[in-house]
């Protein structure tokens, strides 16, 4: 995003588009890395007894991605500040890690690499929650799940 976008209030339609774009991109890229590996590699992994069936993941992740986009929308619509710029940066980093996890775990067939990405992603999510909370408590709460 350009500095102009990061330093001025955004109109609602633009904020909605910019909030959805990284979330939809991460979901689409993650899906592209995941789907070809479900029937073969993932199906053959030994999973814990409490592992949910595959059909659960689509609706759950759709709901999570909607919450994530709503949180980001609220930040994009907030008053311009250095805190907002930092929050946007860590959010975009977190979304990149979210996408990278699918490639690490599914495309690379590496649970260990997946764990490494998850650890970094969890740290980025916590940082995003902390930064979002300084700007908009509701936006921070939307990231909790």
What is the reported pTM? Answer: 0.91
Residues 10-55 have pLDDT tens digits of 899 999 999 999 999 999 999 999 999 999 999 999 999 999 998 9
DSSP track, 44-57: GS---TTPPPHHHH
- The domain limits of the chain are 8-142
Check whether 1 has a pLDDT greater than 90: no
pLDDT of residue 10: 85
Percent of the residues in the chain that have a pLDDT greater than 70, as a whole number: 94
Nearby residues of 83 by Cβ (< 8 Å), 6 or more positions away:
131, 134, 135
Average pLDDT over residues 71-81: 95
pLDDT of residue 35: 94
Domain 8-142 has CATH 1.10.357: no
pLDDT band at 2, cuts 50/70/90?
A: low
CA 15, CA 25: separation in Å to the nearest integer? 16
């Amino acid at each position: 995003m350009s500095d102009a976008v990061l330093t001025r209030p955004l109109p609602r339609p633009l904020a909605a588009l910019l909030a959805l774009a990284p979330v939809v991109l991460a979901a689409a890229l993650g899906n592209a890395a995941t789907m070809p590996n479900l029937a073969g590699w993932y199906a053959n992994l030994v999973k814990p007894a409490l592992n949910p069936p595959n059909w659960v993941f689509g609706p759950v992740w759709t709901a999570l991605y909607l919450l994530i986009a709503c949180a980001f929308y609220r930040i994009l619509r907030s008053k311009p500040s250095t805190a907002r710029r930092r929050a946007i940066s860590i959010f975009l980093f977190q979304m990149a890690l979210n996408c990278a996890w699918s490639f690490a775990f599914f495309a690379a067939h590496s649970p260990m690499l997946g764990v490494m990405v998850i650890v970094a992603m969890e740290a980025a999510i916590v940082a995003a929650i902390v930064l979002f909370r300084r700007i908009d408590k509701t936006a921070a709460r939307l990231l909790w799940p």
